[in-house]
């Protein structure tokens, strides 16, 4: 029986971050495996990515339910039946209730395309450019009931260029998303991540040296 951490990935669309996790888990040395991919939207590209990799997929269409709670009950049961130990939100476009988050407390992580706690919610790239900040980026965090809230596991900072557009910035940040999601999962799977006083502590963390200035001159 595999000793690898069992992942359940929730998606709603193309699954580019799902693909980064698929690629990482195809390395035998990676300490986690994806046991199920669940989409709340039928026919999305992410389901094809999972099927191509031989991963079990399920569609639980939220439109088949009158309320969020019955939808989440079915979702919860599907994750449990697959033996999921860590739930990874990867472009899952549904707001989860406090009840669902509580059932998966500290076993539910999300990726967000900004440097949280700045620019929670949607349209992060437009808002970062409009605010005139010099850096944006992406964040992996444990999920809490409030939107885009919770202990931060990893972040990548991406400089904003003077002539940036939201699409251009989004493309550069997406490249970094594909790097830090597998990193965060690996840290958790290796047992190096703990939460103390709502802050993530990482055992034997290696932090970067130096600083980055934007603009450089």
Distances (CA, A) of 25 to 50, 112, 191, 197, 204: 12, 21, 17, 31, 22
* Residue listed under structure tokens 């088949």: 64
Q: Are 90 and 10 in contact (CB under 8 A)?
A: yes
Cβ(180)–Cβ(155) below 8 Å: yes
Active site residue 76: no
Integer Cα distance of 152 and 199 in angstroms: 7
Catalytic residue among 76, 112, 125, 178: 112
As annotated, the active-site residues are: 112
């Amino acid at each position: 029986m595999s000793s690898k951490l069992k992942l359940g990935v929730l998606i709603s669309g193309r699954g580019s971050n799902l693909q980064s996790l698929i690629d990482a888990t195809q390395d035998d040395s990676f300490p986690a495996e994806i046991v199920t991919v669940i989409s709340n939207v039928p026919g999305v590209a992410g389901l094809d990515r999972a099927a191509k990799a031989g991963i079990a997929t399920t569609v639980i269409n939220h439109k088949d339910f009158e309320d969020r709670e019955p939808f989440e009950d079915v979702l919860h049961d599907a994750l449990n039946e697959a033996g999921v130990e860590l739930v990874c939100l990867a472009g899952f476009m549904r707001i989860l209730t406090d009840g669902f988050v509580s059932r998966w407390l500290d076993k539910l992580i999300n990726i967000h395309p900004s440097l949280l706690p700045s620019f929670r919610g949607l349209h992060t790239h437009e808002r970062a450019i409009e605010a005139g900040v010099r850096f944006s980026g992406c964040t992996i965090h444990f999920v809490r009931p409030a939107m885009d809230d919770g202990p931060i596991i990893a972040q990548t900072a991406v400089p904003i260029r003077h002539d940036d557009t939201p699409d251009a910035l989004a493309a550069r940040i997406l490249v970094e998303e594909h790097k830090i999601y597998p990193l965060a999962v690996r840290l958790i799977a290796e047992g190096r991540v703990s939460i103390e006083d709502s802050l993530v502590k990482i055992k034997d963390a290696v932090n970067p040296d130096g600083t980055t200035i934007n603009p450089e001159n």
